[in-house]
Structure 1
Amino acid sequence: MTPHEDMDALMLENTELRARLEEAEDTLRAIRLGEVDALVSEGPEGPQVFILQSSDAESNRFRSDILGKVSDAVIAVDEERRLIYMNAAAERQYGVTASQVLGQPASSMIDSRWFAPQDQDEYQTTLTETGVWRGRNIHIKLDGTVVHVESTVSRLFGPDGTPTGRLAVIRDITGHKEAEEALRENQARLQLTLESARIGDWDLDLKADRSRRSLLHDQLFGYREPVAQWGFKQFLHHVHPDDRDEVKRRFRESVENATDWQVECRIVWPNGTIHWIDMHGSIFRNEQGDPVRMLGVILDITARKKAEEALRENEALFSTIIDQAPGGVYVVD
């Protein structure tokens, strides 16, 4: 596989991982309703919201016909942190049965770990002040398996307002974390490949005309430090005036037809020197099919262009010598 093919493969893998992460985030947001006594169940007719009214919460919150439908693990503890409810998803997630652990301390089933000491303090403070906490931490199961989870924990109250325990809806995001790690590793590999080849990368928002770029991208335009604002408008400002119309025409055709963009042109650095660049970009569409992003790379080809120009000059000089020679010209091996 050539360096360019390897780079293209890495960029494709990087895009696919981003899409997977965005899809996972959308799913997580769907179950965060902002109500202490609200649960979301994914049924055959789509998401269903179950509200546990305060006066009936004590009798309704553990009904299996509601909580049993929730695909995430749901557990409840009393004020002494003893397990008083777990749904089938929790049994599967933690590898236990309700009959084994109900009445036991939650710590007998889950060893909760925090990423930092202050995270646990924030959990306690938020739950006390608002009645609801949402966040991430680590659960270690009985068999030693480490699980990354995202949870919504709500305080439970009896009909008279007396605290009775806590209800937790827990989603296993271990796969999500692994995808994040794979994405970071992939980005590192991609960046190493690009930097080794002296290739800058960029990601342009076509609607806002703003882009994310690597430092090398900006350096290829003559800047030592990252430029604060950059879009197609700023790019055109750096293109040599004699090349600007052609560059603009090709870019417009690429966006209108949702096709790849490729152009070689001259650019003018802030110090006035002229350089040649080769740019490639690929269009990405939204769900409606509208072009919304262009992801691409930039390569400095000044040395190649100078070599091509030198070759042309030498060929022209040789041709002149041949034409003006009074006699024959012989080439001897």
Structure 2
Amino acid sequence: MPEKTREELEQELQDLRDRLSVAEETLQAIRQGEVDALVVSGPEGDQIFTLQSADEPYRLFVEQMQEGAATVTSDGMLLYCNRRLAELLQRNLETVIGSNFKQYLNPAERPLFQALLQQDTGKCSQREFCLIARDQTEIPIALSINKLTIENVIIHCLIITDLTEYKRQKKIVAAEKLARSIFEQVADAIVVCDQRGIIIRTSMATQELCGKNPILQPFDQVFLLIFCSSDIREDNNRIYSAFPTSGHPFSIATILNGETFQGVEVVFGREDGQEFHLLLSGRALLNSKNQIQGCVVTLTNITSRKQSEKALQESQERFRRAVLYSPIPIMLHAEDGEVLQINQAWTELTGYTHQDIPAIADWTQKAYGTRQALVRATIDQLYGFNQPIGEGEYTIITRNGSTRIWDFYSAPLGKLNDGRRMVISTALDVTLRKQAELELQQAKSRFPTQAWELRQGN
């Protein structure tokens, strides 16, 4: 092999140096991430080998994350976004990139977004916004904005979190809190039982009613309820009156078997001896398969009402007896002409019973004869007065045909439950007084004649 000349050796050395320089530049480019692939020539032709850089896992993470991610310019133009943001907007990824992010916000919120892009606090900004999807659906989001500077270019990184489910859960929690608050503070005793009739939840009023903590206790042991009268039961959207008689005990099993009760009056005898009158309402709780999972019972305390009703009934009874046994004649009558009641004195003096005179028309016909129309007109005026009035003396015809003289007084008693005005009329029987006055007048008229006769005799 002939020896190479000096010139040839120097040329070969220079070629080696050039190749080394190219190799070092290639390695440097690879190290700095400036090379995405290599083309290698081989026996089978050129082959391309792609290089996986260190930031590849981060790219995959951003693309597959459940939050939307984007980079925007200072005026909001989208330089990049992942597929999740495109899905939220219901648009193709290609159409979103290059558009302005502000166009996807509620118009009222766009100035705030622009202000966040322009502020320079050096911190990540977070606000809630509302995205407008392609179908005009409003999507509540939490938007995080972070400002970055890359090669003297300012960009903003956005992280968009869908708050739809969070908002829904928040509403459910708020509704549950409201329902719990109402349940606990409602004035009526509300009891929820499981399938076995065990109390699992109650309102605050329930514990006050039973005087102890009833949770996890059998309903029938805590509340010994007795039906106090025949009442109304609701079943299968029908109301009927097939009900246990007074004194029959109530059992929670009836509701757990599908019975429904609405406003049934019961008596509850507490362990300390106190007695309460309650209105019982109850209905079974069904699951999605219409299977009974328990029941809810409402107990409304009407003890005070019953006491007031009893006092009113006693007062009404005293008034009725006072009218019935009063020594002076009394009649109660309504503006439509119905005679509501007459007392014993009225019957004893006139001979007429309530059956004989059920209406004012009957009374005026029997007692006044040909004067009935005039008297009836006077009575009709009584319903318009708001204070007692003396009507004066009237001659009445009794059942046996005799006459009596009554001095009438009437007064308004307000309205009946049906709205009719009611009047009480009383009478003083002045028959004997009138007879005595007449006899006295007759005696006075005879006195001058008798005196003259006596003087003539002397």
1:118 maps to: 245
Compare relative contact order (CA 8 Å, sep 6+) and give the higher one, 1 or 2: 1
| Structure 2 residue 437 is the aligned partner of structure 1 residue 308 | no
2:309 maps to: 180
- Residue 214 of structure 2, aligned match among 101, 106, 111: 101
Distance 1:223 1:315 in 2: 33
| Structure 2 residue 349 is the aligned partner of structure 1 residue 236 | no
- Residue 248 of structure 1, aligned match among 376, 384, 391: 376
1:250-275 per-position Cα deviation (integer Å, ceiling 9, x unaligned): 33333234443443423323432323
- SS of the residue 1:159 aligns to: coil
| TM-score of the pair, normalised by structure 2 | 0.48
| Structure 2 residue 135 is the aligned partner of structure 1 residue 135 | no
Instruction: Calculate the aligned-residue CA RMSD, in Å.
Output: 3.9
CA distance 1:252–1:89, change in 2 (3 Å): same
Structure 1 range deviating more: 118-127 or 147-156: 118-127
1:152 maps to: 281
| C-alpha displacement of 1:228 | 7.5
- SS of the residue 2:352 aligns to: coil
Report if aligned partners of 1:77, 1:166 keep a CA contact under 8 Å in 2.
Answer: yes
Distance 1:66 1:256 in 2: 49
Q: Which amino acid aligns with 2:217?
A: Q
Report if aligned partners of 2:224, 2:250 keep a CA contact under 8 Å in 1.
Answer: no
CA distance 1:126–1:227, change in 2 (3 Å): farther
2:300 maps to: 171
Uncovered stretches (5+) of structure 1, i.e. residues with no partner: 1-58
CA distance 1:174–1:125, change in 2 (3 Å): same
CA distance 1:211–1:160, change in 2 (3 Å): farther
Report if aligned partners of 1:260, 1:282 keep a CA contact under 8 Å in 2.
Answer: yes
- SS of the residue 1:118 aligns to: coil
Q: How does 1:160-309 map to 2 (within 5 A)?
A: 160-199=289-328, 201-206=330-335, 208-214=336-342, 216=344, 219=347, 221-224=350-353, 226-227=354-355, 230-241=358-369, 244=372, 247-263=375-391, 264-277=393-406, 278-285=408-415, 292-299=420-427, 301-302=428-429, 304-309=430-435
Q: How does 1:42-61 map to 2 (within 5 A)?
A: none
CA distance 1:318–1:205, change in 2 (3 Å): closer
Q: How does 1:40-79 map to 2 (within 5 A)?
A: 63-68=179-184, 70-79=186-195
Distance 1:114 1:285 in 2: 34
Report if aligned partners of 1:149, 1:171 keep a CA contact under 8 Å in 2.
Answer: yes
1:19 maps to: none
Distance 2:343 2:443 in 1: 41
- SS of the residue 2:401 aligns to: coil
Distance 2:362 2:352 in 1: 13
| C-alpha displacement of 1:67 | 3.0
1:9-60 per-position Cα deviation (integer Å, ceiling 9, x unaligned): xxxxxxxxxxxxxxxxxxxxxxxxxxxxxxxxxxxxxxxxxxxxxxxxxx98
**Greater gyration radius:** 2
Distance 2:362 2:194 in 1: 61
Distance 2:310 2:343 in 1: 23
Report if aligned partners of 1:156, 1:164 keep a CA contact under 8 Å in 2.
Answer: yes
1:26 maps to: none
Uncovered stretches (5+) of structure 2, i.e. residues with no partner: 1-174, 230-243
1:92 maps to: 208
Structure 1 range deviating more: 118-127 or 310-319: 118-127
- Residue 443 of structure 2, aligned match among 295, 313, 317: 317
Distance 2:445 2:273 in 1: 80
Distance 1:218 1:171 in 2: 46
What percentage of residue pairs aligned between the two structures are identical? 16
Distance 2:200 2:284 in 1: 14
| C-alpha displacement of 1:145 | 0.9
